């Protein structure tokens, strides 16, 4: 192994040695503890330490790193207290994730380390978002993301590298090529000669280096960092290395030819560097022994503290409270009757901070005094105009708000909602994206790590499947896992009725309602469309904002000109009635009101849910009490739709008020068809009369 110390001083070379040794000695200790049954299994980085350590030390301590499962050296090189790491690995409440996450799946804002989810690939696009934040602020910083060579086969790798290249983002992507992805050798993983060959296809520079040579890694990453900052471009580094242990501890290495171990043993990053340091007279053999002894002592001491962690006390309330970040924003809400002056209210959850991770810091620079629009005047606006206004006023209010989506800039978006925004707010903030839903959701999360807000426009709600993993696994779970919020709104143009076929018409809100950590809102009228969008953008949590395409230009109403919120989690009583209650949302509200208008013989109460997660159970209970007969109406298909959930809740909590079984009217359990006659038949509205008559006649 050839070492080149360049300008490093002996002291720097010795420091590098200590940093390189620490993760190795920790893991060696962990192997003993594992055999004693005192610690749970993890993914070993033995043999690969030079990559984590060299790369981390080449960065500034406040530059975000997105490590993976073999990167203990990242955590130790950021000087995270070892006893707290031990607490983390034991699943202790005093670790970094309050016992909720395993091995290396946690992050720390304080150390600028973003915790991975198990899925390989999503970390890469988060690095894009962080780098975008650095770029927008003109900071001289890079973000750095790791992947294994196996992970490069994921679509997320392609999406993240392509986006970084197209947006000229200062990101360093490091591939740790250790020859295997679990048991799969590189010959069954990819066909290019070298993974850096792919960089050319992305229009990116790349270099392949010896990942076991600490000086080569350190020096390369330092140089690449300068390049990324000065040229404002991403860079790909392939580090050749070898996994000296099984995929995870205790999973064995039978599938790896013995001679590979023999060969790579000779390339051990620590032994080789030790020999070099002795030959260079940087350290003597005795000094090395001394450093090893000191490190051993340190590990033992920290381990003792780590094992002294208190036993887990389970607190369900804390578990539930930590799923969402607290909103610290003071909100102006539109009152239902806006002849009343709006009230300044503080979010009610703020009063009970028990068991919370610290609330996200309010980004003070981001707020501008809402200069616009007279407070109490209203004007007629179509649903689509109200959405546009909500976006526009939010962009004016939050200077740290970024919009991203396919064709949303000059073209104005598929539905022209953002037309003219580029002229008003500039291309930095109104960003066209490549075709890559997953990377953009990931980038939105990265922006959030750096205190930005973002709204992503899904061109059609149907395409959310291509970004599904980032939403349900990363955005939704991140606050619960390690206290980081995802300040992201995803706009979801949804719904059918236009003969647009199975992939431009779906109602897929129920997928997200089932996912703790997300909020789901679904306005049915122009006033709420604006107010809920503003509330969603102000909320520090990930919110899916469903906007029914069929309502865009078909309905309008009085909309306050002021900047206001419609509270998330509050339903709206659309009309009172005394025969039956229809609980619905979105297009269902219009089906119900039209039906009621045409059936004056019936007194129908209509409750518009507006928010599907969280649900307004008080309002649901009130309407059940009022009438004792309830119909749940939605455009989504029957099975697994939110109607089933609400029906179950009513059965459990309002049984004594019921005069009839809770009934559901929903669309057919088929994909949504193209032909208008078929689609009409598919829709819940086709069975509304039948459902109501059945309920009334019960």
Ligand X SMILES: Cc1ncc(C[n+]2csc(CCOP(=O)(O)OP(=O)(O)O)c2C)c(N)n1
Q: Footprint of ligand X on this chain (CB under 6 A)? A: 70, 118-120, 148-151, 176, 178, 180-182, 243, 247
Partner whose binding site includes residue 120, from Mg ion, ligand X, none (CB under 5 to 8 Å by kind): ligand X
Selected range binding Mg ion among 41-49, 118-126, 172-180, 429-437, rule: CB under 5 A: 172-180
Partner whose binding site includes residue 182, from Mg ion, ligand X, none (CB under 5 to 8 Å by kind): ligand X
Between 119 and 514, CB nearer to ligand X: 119
> Of 111, 504, 548, 590, which is the active-site residue?
504
**Both structure tokens of 359:** 């609330």
Distances (CA, A) of 54 to 155, 231, 623: 27, 22, 63
* Distance of closest approach, residue 148 Cβ to ligand X, in angstroms: 2
Among the listed residues 178, 485, 505, 626, the single contact to Mg ion using CB under 5 A: 178
* Distance of closest approach, residue 180 Cβ to Mg ion, in angstroms: 5
Partner whose binding site includes residue 446, from Mg ion, ligand X, none (CB under 5 to 8 Å by kind): none
* Distance of closest approach, residue 479 Cβ to ligand X, in angstroms: 22
* Distance of closest approach, residue 463 Cβ to ligand X, in angstroms: 20
Selected range binding Mg ion among 30-38, 176-184, 486-494, 589-597, rule: CB under 5 A: 176-184
In the bound state, the residue with its beta carbon closest to Mg ion is: 148
Let me know if 504 is a catalytic residue.
yes
Cα separation of 478 and 395, whole Å? 25
Between 150 and 269, CB nearer to Mg ion: 150
Between 68 and 299, CB nearer to ligand X: 68
Distances (CA, A) of 38 to 30, 83, 100, 416, 496: 9, 15, 18, 59, 56
Strands (E), 562-648: 572-575, 580-584, 604-608, 611-613, 630-637
**Both structure tokens of 211:** 């990942």
Partner whose binding site includes residue 413, from ligand X, Mg ion, none (CB under 5 to 8 Å by kind): none
In the bound state, the residue with its beta carbon closest to ligand X is: 148
* Distance of closest approach, residue 117 Cβ to ligand X, in angstroms: 9
Q: How many residues does the chain have?
A: 698
Q: What share of the chain is helix, strand, coil (3-state, %, to 5)?
A: 45, 15, 40
Partner whose binding site includes residue 119, from ligand X, Mg ion, none (CB under 5 to 8 Å by kind): ligand X
Q: Which helix (H) or strand (E) holds 596?
A: helix 587-598
Between 29 and 247, CB nearer to Mg ion: 247
Partner whose binding site includes residue 330, from ligand X, Mg ion, none (CB under 5 to 8 Å by kind): none
Closest CA to 480 of 127, 124, 101, 221: 101
Selected range binding Mg ion among 127-135, 178-186, 251-259, 541-549, rule: CB under 5 A: 178-186
Among the listed residues 54, 95, 148, 531, the single contact to Mg ion using CB under 5 A: 148
* Distance of closest approach, residue 557 Cβ to Mg ion, in angstroms: 56
Between 9 and 118, CB nearer to ligand X: 118
- DSSP string over 494-522: E--SSS--TTSS---HHHHHTSTT-EEE-
Name the 3-class secondary structure at 453. Answer: strand
Between 180 and 383, CB nearer to ligand X: 180
* Distance of closest approach, residue 70 Cβ to Mg ion, in angstroms: 8
Specify whether the CB–CB gap between 249 and 34 falls below 8 A: yes
Closest CA to 519 of 489, 548, 492: 489
* Distance of closest approach, residue 70 Cβ to ligand X, in angstroms: 5
Between 119 and 694, CB nearer to ligand X: 119
Among the listed residues 23, 54, 107, 181, the single contact to Mg ion using CB under 5 A: 181
Cα separation of 61 and 388, whole Å? 40
Cα separation of 446 and 274, whole Å? 38
Between 176 and 457, CB nearer to Mg ion: 176
Partner whose binding site includes residue 45, from Mg ion, ligand X, none (CB under 5 to 8 Å by kind): none
Partner whose binding site includes residue 118, from Mg ion, ligand X, none (CB under 5 to 8 Å by kind): ligand X
The residues pairing with 581 across neighbouring beta strands, listed in sequence order, are 605, 630
* Distance of closest approach, residue 456 Cβ to ligand X, in angstroms: 22
Instruction: Check the CA dihedral 53-57-61-66 and report its sign.
Output: negative
Instruction: Check the CA dihedral 92-98-101-103 and report its sign.
Output: negative
Selected range binding Mg ion among 144-152, 226-234, 373-381, 682-690, rule: CB under 5 A: 144-152
* Distance of closest approach, residue 145 Cβ to Mg ion, in angstroms: 15
Between 181 and 442, CB nearer to Mg ion: 181
> 């291509």: which residue's tokens?
466
Distances (CA, A) of 182 to 71, 212, 622: 16, 20, 55
What is the number of other CB atoms lying within 10 angstroms of the CB of residue 61? 12
Q: Between vectors from CA 172 to CA 167 and to CA 177, what angle results, nearest 5°?
A: 125
Instruction: Check the CA dihedral 294-300-301-302 and report its sign.
Output: positive
Between 181 and 641, CB nearer to Mg ion: 181
Burial class for 386, CB neighbours closer than 10 Å (0-12, 13-18, 19+) = buried
Partner whose binding site includes residue 244, from ligand X, Mg ion, none (CB under 5 to 8 Å by kind): none
Q: Phi/psi of residue 490, each to 5°?
A: -115, 115
Partner whose binding site includes residue 523, from Mg ion, ligand X, none (CB under 5 to 8 Å by kind): none
Residues at the site binding Mg ion, with contacts judged by CB under 5 A: 148-150, 178, 181
Catalytic positions: 504
């Amino acid at each position: 192994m050839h070492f080149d110390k360049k300008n490093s001083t002996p002291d720097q070379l010795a420091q590098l040695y200590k940093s390189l040794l620490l993760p190795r000695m920790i893991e060696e200790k962990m192997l003993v503890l594992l055999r004693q049954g005192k610690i749970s299994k993890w993914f070993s980085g033995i043999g690969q330490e030079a990559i984590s350590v060299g790369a981390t030390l080449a960065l500034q301590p406040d530059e975000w790193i997105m490590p993976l499962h073999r990167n203990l050296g990242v955590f130790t090189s950021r000087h995270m207290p070892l006893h707290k790491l031990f607490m983390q690995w034991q699943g202790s409440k005093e670790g970094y994730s309050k016992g909720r996450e395993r091995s290396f799946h946690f992050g720390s804002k304080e150390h600028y380390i973003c915790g991975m989810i198990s899925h390989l690939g999503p970390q890469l696009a988060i690095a894009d978002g962080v780098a975008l934040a650095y770029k927008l602020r003109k900071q001289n910083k890079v973000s750095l993301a790791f992947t294994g060579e196996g992970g490069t086969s994921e679509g997320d790798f392609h999406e993240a590298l392509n986006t970084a290249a197209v947006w000229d983002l200062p990101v360093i992507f490091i591939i740790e090529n250790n020859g295997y992805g679990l048991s799969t050798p590189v010959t069954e993983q990819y066909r290019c000669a070298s993974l850096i060959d792919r960089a050319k296809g992305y229009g990116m520079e790349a270099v392949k280096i010896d990942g076991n040579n600490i000086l080569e890694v350190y020096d390369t990453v330092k140089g690449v960092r300068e390049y990324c900052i000065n040229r404002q471009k991403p860079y790909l580094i392939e580090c050749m290395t070898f996994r000296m242990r099984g995929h995870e501890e205790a999973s064995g290495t039978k599938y790896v030819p013995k001679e590979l171990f023999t060969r790579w043993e000779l390339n051990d990053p620590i032994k080789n560097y030790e020999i070099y340091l002795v030959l260079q007279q940087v350290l003597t053999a005795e000094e090395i022994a001394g450093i090893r002894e000191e490190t051993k002592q340190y590990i033992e001491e920290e381990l003792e503290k780590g094992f002294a962690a208190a036993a887990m006390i389970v607190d369900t309330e804390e578990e539930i409270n930590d799923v969402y970040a607290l909103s610290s924003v003071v909100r102006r809400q539109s009152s239902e009757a806006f002849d009343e002056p709006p009230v300044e209210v503080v979010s009610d959850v703020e009063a009970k901070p028990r068991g919370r991770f610290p609330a996200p810091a309010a980004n003070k620079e981001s707020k501008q005094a809402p200069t616009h629009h007279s407070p109490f005047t209203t004007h007629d606006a179509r649903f689509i105009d109200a959405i546009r206004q909500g976006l526009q006023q939010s962009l004016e209010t939050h200077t740290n708000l970024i919009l991203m989506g396919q064709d949303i800039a000059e073209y104005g978006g598929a539905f022209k909602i953002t037309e003219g925004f580029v002229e008003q707010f500039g291309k930095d903030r109104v960003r066209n994206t490549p075709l890559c839903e997953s990377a953009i959701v990931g980038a939105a999360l990265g922006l959030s790590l750096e205190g930005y807000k973002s709204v992503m426009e899904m061109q059609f709600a149907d395409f959310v499947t291509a970004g599904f993993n980032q939403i349900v696994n990363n955005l939704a779970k991140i606050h619960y896992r390690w206290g980081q919020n995802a300040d992201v709104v995803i706009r979801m143009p949804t719904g059918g009725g236009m003969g647009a076929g199975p992939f431009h018409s779906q109602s897929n809100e129920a997928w997200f309602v089932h996912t703790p950590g997300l909020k789901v809102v679904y306005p049915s009228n122009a006033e709420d469309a604006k107010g809920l969008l503003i509330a969603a953008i102000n909320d520090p949590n990930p919110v899916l904002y469903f906007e029914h395409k069929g309502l865009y230009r078909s309905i309008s109403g009085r909309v306050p000109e002021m900047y206001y919120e419609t509270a998330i989690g509050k339903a709206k009583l659309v009309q009172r009635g005394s025969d039956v209650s229809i609980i619905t949302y979105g297009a269902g509200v219009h089906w119900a009101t039209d039906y009621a208008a045409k059936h004056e013989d019936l007194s129908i109460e209509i409750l518009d849910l507006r928010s599907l997660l969280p649900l307004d159970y008080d309002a649901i209970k009130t309407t059940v009490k009022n009438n004792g007969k309830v119909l749940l109406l939605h455009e989504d298909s029957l099975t697994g739709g939110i109607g089933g959930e609400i029906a179950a809740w009513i059965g459990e909590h309002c049984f004594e008020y019921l005069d009839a079984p809770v009934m559901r009217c929903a669309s057919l359990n088929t994909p949504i068809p193209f032909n208008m006659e078929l689609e009409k038949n598919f829709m819940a509205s086709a069975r509304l009369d039948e459902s109501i008559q059945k309920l009334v006649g019960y």
